Structure 1
Amino acid sequence: MAEDIGASIRRRVDYTPIHKRAPLKLPGEARVAVWTIVNVENWSPNGPMPRAVLPPPMGQPLLPDVPNWAWHEYGMRVGFWRFLETLSSRGLRASFAVNGTACEVYREACEAARDAGWDFMGHGFIQRPMHRVEDQKAAIADTVAAIRECTGRPPRGWESPGLTETDETLDLLAEAGIEYVADWVLDDQPVPLQTRAGEIVSVPYTVEINDVVISAVQQQPSDEILRRGRDQFDRLYLEGAKTPRVMAISIHPYLTGVPHRIKYLEQLYDYILGHEGVVMWTGAEILDWYRSQVPAKG
């Protein structure tokens, strides 16, 4: 069974080395398209936390988990608004990966993201791996409906909680009208993925310039997002002289939105914006650019 699933996953995407593809062109001969993903999730204090900053006393999980829930909740009460100011003051818009239930729980934040012109992406209905969702089709539909109710339009993109997918997830997303996904962290350019409902595009996402990995998993110093992000950009900018690259910056309000990290995100943006030949886009804008150059088959 494992081999069959692996073969099914590989059949969705052709193996084409980046140096053997037809050349792409960014506007104005730009080298790099940079997109920011702000992740907003609904954590329940009555269940195990997706992430924890404090281990449970004596190693025994205790519910409700008030300290770890509150750690996350700080991000929505304070950290998110730092993100909004950081991006808006620089004329930048984010892609907004949001749980469907968060559209109601954090209504004011979602409306602020909408009013700022951010690109809403589905991020599951609740913060739970897709493998543990009993009815993925219904959860996807509920997420799309919640975003449409908040913004007036359905999301075009999707990022699964924890980047998790089952063998059927991609098909269900395409059938629900989703046009691009961020789960397949396998390239520096968009690539088409095959589904039973036609192609869906993988827009390059990141597990490296991602504050869950940097701050929560690896527990790196507060300035790591700046140092790693600057190095990532420098290399993509160099390579982008031959063929354009896409850089993602993935952030969460409870991690990079805290006082001792936010200035390093601001410095990263200022560093990138100090270069010519860069476009600061949303996931939907990257999708539209790619489709203008590589039309869908069929």
Structure 2
Amino acid sequence: MTSELGYSLRDRLAYQPIHERPGLKLPGDARVAVWTIVNVENWSPAGAMPRAVLPPPMGQPLLPDIPNWSWHEYGMRVGFWRFLEALSSRNLKATFAVNGSACKVYPQACAAARDAGWDFMGHGFIQRPMHKVDDQKAAIRDTIAAISDFTGHAPRGWESPGLTETDETLDLLAEAGIEYVADWVLDDQPVELKTRSRPIVSVPYTVEINDVVMSAVQQQPSDEILRRGKDQFDRLYLEGAKAPRVMAISIHPYLTGVPHRIKYLEALYDYILGHEGVVMWTGAEILDWYKTQPKASA
């Protein structure tokens, strides 16, 4: 499938192995840039839940789905505030991937993220795949407007709900002013993606160090984010001695924000912070750094 200008997915970027690119250099010869993405979503209790922890009785979905909606809501009432404490106590800032509609549904959480200096990133207007959005252009516009009204600044980054994109999504994001995306989980360094108007940067994101995959899909033990996160960091740190790498940590308040998992996230941060040659950045900071670096040829 192709976009309006004939771009297939492979047309969006050239294939270039990581060892054949122009050299990148982090400040102070750091090896790894680590960014945390806190995902805040608006799950409507009137519809089917995007994810479920408890299967419906007799296998028959029922609405309203109180237990699964409440499972998510716990994250916003309690879990999010554990994230805020874990990050702020370590002088860390997150990238805040937020549904545009969540700015009104969860104003205190959004205000706390804003006041903490987090980098707001568009995450769709409501938690729905982009393929199911009737008017993507309007949804992108409404999301940007909601974040702009709340923070005073338009978001520079975008993470689609479920990392979903149609053939046109990337073009619409670039035309709306979005500068970087987190949907393309295909590299350990930023890369430029072609659109019909201007390039947009893919900042390395993750479906591996991501609590949706670890905790909700794979149902790993509570300490998986620490065990897998350390292994991920160790390899990137080793390779970063030759060329810098980017590590993403993607978390959701209803998953890692629960009592039996939060200490493992805190332990992962402490492990990473125990190393020299690491910068703890937001998505926007990674973007700004990448813009100063020599670019790969088209």
TM-score with structure 1 length normalisation?
0.97
Tell me how far apart the structure 1 counterparts of residues 166 and 53 of structure 2 sit (CA, whole Å).
28
Tell me how far apart the structure 1 counterparts of residues 294 and 81 of structure 2 sit (CA, whole Å).
37
Tell me how far apart the structure 2 counterparts of residues 171 and 48 of structure 1 sit (CA, whole Å).
29
The one-letter code of the counterpart of 1:13 is L
Q: Which residue of 2 aligns with 1:81?
A: 81
Give runs of aligned pairs for residues 270-289 of structure 1, distance below 5 A: 270-289=270-289
Per-residue deviation, 1:210 = 0.1
What do residues 107-163 of structure 1 show as CA deviations (whole Å, max 9, x unaligned)? 010000000000000000000000000000000000000000110000000000000
Q: Which residue of 2 aligns with 1:262?
A: 262
Tell me how far apart the structure 1 counterparts of residues 237 and 7 of structure 2 sit (CA, whole Å).
34
Inter-CA distance 62–213: structure 2 relative to 1 (3 Å threshold): same
Tell me how far apart the structure 2 counterparts of residues 40 and 132 of structure 1 sit (CA, whole Å).
19
Name stretches of at least 5 consecutive residues in structure 1 with no aligned partner.
none
Whether 2:35 is the aligned partner of 1:35: answer yes
The one-letter code of the counterpart of 2:10 is R
Per-residue deviation, 1:45 = 1.1
Whether 2:189 is the aligned partner of 1:189: answer yes
Tell me how far apart the structure 2 counterparts of residues 62 and 194 of structure 1 sit (CA, whole Å).
43
Q: Which residue of 2 aligns with 1:69?
A: 69
RMSD: 1.8
Stretches of 4+ aligned residues off by more than 4 angstroms: 4-7, 295-298
Q: Which residue of 2 aligns with 1:106?
A: 106
Tell me how far apart the structure 1 counterparts of residues 101 and 177 of structure 2 sit (CA, whole Å).
20
The one-letter code of the counterpart of 2:288 is D
The one-letter code of the counterpart of 1:176 is A
Tell me how far apart the structure 2 counterparts of residues 247 and 296 of structure 1 sit (CA, whole Å).
20
Whether 2:17 is the aligned partner of 1:17: answer yes
Tell me how far apart the structure 1 counterparts of residues 239 and 88 of structure 2 sit (CA, whole Å).
29
Per-residue deviation, 1:90 = 0.1
Q: Which residue of 1 aligns with 2:123?
A: 123
Percent identity of paired positions between Structure 1 and Structure 2: 83
Tell me how far apart the structure 2 counterparts of residues 7 and 194 of structure 1 sit (CA, whole Å).
8
Q: Which residue of 2 aligns with 1:248?
A: 248
**Secondary structure in 2 aligned to 1:195?**
coil
Name stretches of at least 5 consecutive residues in structure 2 with no aligned partner.
none
Q: Which residue of 2 aligns with 1:133?
A: 133
**Secondary structure in 2 aligned to 1:293?**
coil
**Secondary structure in 2 aligned to 1:78?**
helix
Contact 1:203/1:286 (8 A) holds in 2:
yes
Inter-CA distance 75–199: structure 2 relative to 1 (3 Å threshold): same
The one-letter code of the counterpart of 1:66 is I
The one-letter code of the counterpart of 2:239 is E
Per-residue deviation, 1:294 = 3.7
Tell me how far apart the structure 1 counterparts of residues 154 and 7 of structure 2 sit (CA, whole Å).
32
The one-letter code of the counterpart of 2:126 is I
Per-residue deviation, 1:6 = 10
Contact 2:189/2:245 (8 A) holds in 1:
yes
Contact 1:199/1:296 (8 A) holds in 2:
no
Tell me how far apart the structure 2 counterparts of residues 297 and 201 of structure 1 sit (CA, whole Å).
14
Q: Which residue of 2 aligns with 1:232?
A: 232
